[in-house]
A = this chain, B = another copy of it.
């Protein structure tokens, strides 16, 4: 029998495999998770349990995964695991050790405590557990049945940015997988802020552009092809809910950072253009060193040699976050460009990266 992860003495010795479940496999993130986990070298003997809405197969309570995600179908008559209608009992029966929650925020907030009680480790892809400050968390309008318990779990939750919290993730029971926009901005700013190079009081401006998959699978006016195609629009100016993650992770106040998301007419990918005033005059070499040093042990971040800048095509369908920059001739004004795939490094890829850390595996495993 396979050696499995030990959730009390975590990651001290790498597990051979892990029994996983994906709750909410029907959405875009769920689909990418399914794809990544099915191909993950460590899970070949223990295929994930897929849970989802299977309303159209009500009698059986099961639906083929390829029905929800036709692009995953296998050839040669082979079939994929079925998606099963969720019941909490299933997690217990299947002896699941690690569950990915790709669910609405409120639903995640409700289920995570229950499953943690079962001894299951949780990687939550929603915004439910990312924010320690209740004021920041208010945008999600979460309701806790047991507020005291939720507060305890919240304080235990680890923000799932491997490049910032590698150790804590390895030992965590509850990992709050970061938002897509936030990942692109936090990774671009963390090295400079950590080194004290930025005049934070001048104000940092983050102008981000995201593909339509970021808006979710629900058919709405804004996800209609006729709205999104051949168009560009800004939205949620001064009010996007990923802002709280930037404040907490970068230790900034609301007046120090400003975030404007835009909807791009492409399926996937985020590009963030970030404007920073340096505290002192610097050289391009110094800035590049700052980035390279910070990420020297981070295989999923690629630093571009200035003046080269990343672009969306280079990172789509990868788990990389690409970062490049241009420094003004005055040595003070800096433009950073960071790119990632919102469904991978911005969601499911990063979740797998977190699973790898939690199991003591190479962080890149199954992501190349």
A227 to B224, CA, bound (A): 10
A238, B328: Cβ atoms under 8 Å? yes
Q: Which of B234, B255, B267, B302 contacts A226 (CB 8 A)?
A: B267
Note all chain B residues with C-beta closer than 8 A to A137: none
B224, A75: Cβ atoms under 8 Å? no
Interface positions, chain A 289-335, Cβ under 8 Å from B, are 296-302, 307, 309, 311-318, 320, 326, 328-330, 333, 335
Report if A54 contacts B (CB, 8 A). Answer: no
Instruction: Give A299's nearest chain B residue, CB to CB.
Output: B76
Number of copies: 4
Report if A219 contacts B (CB, 8 A). Answer: yes
Q: How many residues of A contact B (CB 8 A)?
A: 76
Note all chain B residues with C-beta closer than 8 A to A75: 298-302, 320, 364
What is the interface of chain A mostly: helix, strand, loop, or mixed?
Answer: loop
Q: Which of B39, B221, B307, B309 contacts A368 (CB 8 A)?
A: B39
Given contacts A70-B314, A230-B230, A300-B75, contact A212 B238 (CB under 8 A): no
Closest CB of chain B to A175's CB: distance in Å?
Answer: 21
Q: Which of A101-109, A151-159, A270-278 contacts B (4 or more CB under 8 A)?
A: A270-278
A73 to B76, CA, bound (A): 33
Enumerate 19 A-B pairs (CB-CB under 8 Å) in ascending A order: A73-B302, A75-B364, A76-B297, A77-B296, A78-B299, A202-B202, A207-B273, A212-B225, A219-B221, A219-B224, A229-B265, A230-B267, A230-B313, A232-B312, A238-B326, A238-B329, A255-B330, A265-B265, A265-B266
Closest 3 CB pairs of A and B: A76-B299, A233-B311, A219-B219
Give me 7 other A-B pairs in contact (C-beta within 8 A), A70-B314, A233-B313 excluded: A71-B315, A74-B299, A75-B364, A229-B265, A231-B313, A237-B326, A275-B275
